[in-house]
Amino acid sequence: MAFARIARTGLRRSGGAKGNYTTERDAISEGISFSKYQPSLENAMLKYNNPYTFGKMDIPSFQSRGYQATLSSQLPSTEKIARQQSVSESESMKYPGLEATKPGDKPRVVVLGTGWAACRFMKGLDTKMYDIVCISPRNHMVFTPLLASTCVGTLEFRSVAEPVGQIQSALATDPNCYFYLASCTSIDTSKHEVYCETVENLGQANERHRFRVAYDKLVIAVGSDPLTFNIKGVQEHAIFLREVNHAQEIRMKLLSNLMLSQSPGISDEERKRLLHCVIVGGGPTGVEFSGELSDFIKGDVSQRYAHVKDRVKVTVIEANEILSSFDVGLREYAASHLTKSGVCLMRGIVKEVEREKIVLVDGTEVPFGILVWSTGVGPSEFIKSLNLPKCPGGRVGIDQWLRIPSVEDVFALGDCAGFLEQTGRKVLPALAQVAEREGKYLVELFNNMAKQNAGKAYSAKDVTLGEPFVYKHAGSMASVGSYKALVDLRESKDAKGISIAGFLSFLIWRSAYLTRVLSWRNRFYVAVNWATTLVFGRDISKIGN
């Protein structure tokens, strides 16, 4: 009603409706933003036949499969101020986009994110029952267990990136399913809408476009951010090994330092710094990356950088013990193997990170040429900003069915979600297998709701959801280099089970991850890359800046 009153007020002030549009709803349905600039908009349309021309400013068409976007630079100053305030009813005028589904339409599921949880959910969801809208700042899923291998050229980057259009083909082919390269900025659970902005600036206005999407069901799976513990200098000088662009940056920096260290006139101290690779964090990611680095140094650097091969050094800094979630025997094996491979294991707590060195709490200074930060993950700034219940640790709080109980039709899973205290369950670790299991479970729950005609908004109050989610840990694996790996098949840290290490574990590790790669295309890429590396060594070409 308030929306209609605003529209009628705007009509009266502008002298009535223009053309054949008698109401604002009719205008919006035709793709025209209704505002006090309506006369100028109509003149521009008549003159240029371009619905995105405002006055003398010709704004490029930004119409991507069902939505149009508004540039903040074209809004009056009063509207810019209003944009910075909380979401209100007038936001519908400023954020054009996908309207709510109509009776007879399939329910629309909006998925935020393209990580393990989101992609497993989208892959299994029945698109005969639902339409899917995926919103994420990246258009692919990263197969994170093999990401460390891309840093040194064991695998190529495309081998670990799976486009979402191949994971769920409906996003590329179905006229009512969409993928939007954007970030969600806020959620209005009362209106069942999400508000987003594109990750890239478009056009000459140098502004990011904003739009809104109405949902029947919302799945929040935006992942997490690296934990920095508010240590000064981490964000500016460290690299986080979580995305493909991180691996690309590490690879470029590593190769650059190797070549720079051979330049004439470089002091021994500077050469030593350039060739020192420091990893902060002794978890699976840090250990696997250090193993890959040691293999790269022994197998490729020693042959192709003979002048500096003896000066390259890898150091892992950990506050406690490496691989703390693994069996004690496996931890000891990993520490012994890495030490024999030339990796230095150092106990310490980082106090500050400077441009070329780390300062520990005890005053020790560790110069570095490249710093990789891998100390765990925590809730992102977006998750912190949501006015939703939080579980211990700051993640979005969910119940046994992965619902956010304080709001309707909103679910959360993966690294961004955790069980509320009242459920009596522990917050699950931020692991790929946890996210994948949750995505698989939510598929069954959604398909079950659709069969009970509960897919639409506000229709799932009295439906039978079935059994709650139960997670059983399948075990942990980690590669330590030199064709050795660890396999820990215990259900928990204190439980009994099979724990093995060595070459057999390496074969299990590679076989398991090769079968978990989502597409046959990427399985082929990974297998070929492994074979190529075994026969010819790693590619050390430095391409790009």
For helices 520-536 and 503-516, angle between their N-to-C axes, nearest 10 degrees: 150
Residue for token pair 């709650």: 468
The domain spans of the chain are 100-224+379-452, 239-378+474-535
Going from the C-alpha of 346 to that of each of 41, 233, 352, the distances in angstroms are 66, 20, 16
Residue 307 confidence (pLDDT): 84
- Are the CB atoms for 213 and 135 separated by under 8 Å? yes
- Count other Cβ atoms within 10 Å, centred on residue 49: 8
| DSSP state letter for 31 | T
- Are the CB atoms for 277 and 293 separated by under 8 Å? yes
Would you give the distance in Å from CA 276 to the centre of its chain? Answer: 29
Across 99-148, the runs of DSSP E, i.e. the strands, are 108-112, 131-136, 140-142
Q: Is 150 left (phi over 0), alpha (psi -120 to 50) or beta?
A: alpha
Residues in a beta bridge with 141: 162
- SS3 percent helix, strand, coil of the chain, rounded to 5, is 35, 20, 40
Residue 42 confidence (pLDDT): 36
For helices 328-340 and 284-296, angle between their N-to-C axes, nearest 10 degrees: 30
As its CATH architecture, domain 100-224+379-452 has 3-Layer(bba) Sandwich (3.50)
Residue 545 confidence (pLDDT): 67
Instruction: Give tens-digit pLDDT for 202-228.
Output: 665 667 889 999 999 999 999 999 999
In the chain, which residues have pLDDT < 50?
Answer: 1-88, 91
- Determine the Cα angle at 446 with ends 441 and 450, to 5°: 150
- Are the CB atoms for 206 and 144 separated by under 8 Å? no
| DSSP state letter for 180 | E
As its CATH architecture, domain 239-378+474-535 has 3-Layer(bba) Sandwich (3.50)
Residue 82 confidence (pLDDT): 39
Instruction: Give tens-digit pLDDT for 227-276.
Output: 999 999 999 999 999 999 999 999 999 999 999 999 999 999 999 999 99
Query: Residue 418 has which token pair?
Result: 């955790």
Query: Residue 462 has which token pair?
Result: 């009295």
- Count other Cβ atoms within 10 Å, centred on residue 80: 13
Residues 224, 480: Cα–Cα separation, whole Å: 25
Which among 113, 134, 187, 108 is positioned nearest to 416, based on CA atoms?
A: 113
- Determine the Cα angle at 33 with ends 27 and 37, to 5°: 105
Is the full-model pTM beyond 0.85? no
Would you give the distance in Å from CA 100 to the centre of its chain? Answer: 27
